[in-house]
Amino acid sequence: MKSNDKLEQLLRQMYAEEELHKGKSIETSSIIDEEWAKFETTHFGKSSFFTLHSSLKKIAAVFIGVLMLSGFAYAAFHYFSGNTQRSTLNPQHSTLNPQHSTLNAQRSTLNPQPTAPIVFKDAELETILHEVAAFYECETVYENEKARHLRLYFTWDKTMTIDEVIGTFNKFERLHITREDKKLIVN
């Protein structure tokens, strides 16, 4: 019942205002602006704070989005381009002199001592096979020229036979090596 009393009171107030201003033109724009400002303050607090706060959120979201997108682009560029300035061999790796490797192979047959595996980090296949072929006294033939520049991480144990080494290479997806006598053929 209280709501009906309030409604009746509001109607009486409207009629009273109407009687007061009969025949007079009332400037409503300033009244509307005042009432709207009161409404905003009552229900939303200071409107400029919320506008500023939402603007800052939008700016932060755009900045984070651009930052993430540039990070993805940078990673994709380096993943697909391949960095040519990387070193081809691990510092633990011996020299690439074929005579030196042949001498090492002869020494290892005379003095069978356990040797540490040689680790190739991001080395081209040509570099790795040059060393392996020299050790096993083989010649390398490339039927697929692109295969020369494949970059691999490879651990070579010199106690393995040449066929075991070839089997390990053939586990790589884009690589197939066969052996015919003293020739390693890269397909």
Q: Is residue 80 classed as helix, strand or coil in its secondary structure?
A: helix
Residues 160-183 have a mean pLDDT of 92
Q: What are phi and psi of 57, to 5 degrees?
A: -60, -45
Confidence of residue 49 (pLDDT cuts 50, 70, 90): low
Whole-number pLDDT of residue 42: 78
Whole-number pLDDT of residue 110: 54
Distance between CA 55 and CA 106 in Å, rounded?
75
Tokens of 133: 């072929």
DSSP, residue by residue, 4-37? HHHHHHHHHHHHHHHHHTTT----HHHHHHHHHH
Confidence of residue 138 (pLDDT cuts 50, 70, 90): very high
Query: Cα–Cα–Cα angle for 74, 79, 82, nearest 5°?
Result: 110
pTM over 0.85: no
Tell me the per-residue pLDDT of 74-127, one tens digit each, with 9 for 90 and over: 888 888 876 444 444 444 444 444 444 555 555 555 555 567 899 999 999 999
With a cut of 60, say whether residue 167 has pLDDT above it.
Answer: yes
Distance between CA 168 and CA 141 in Å, rounded?
18
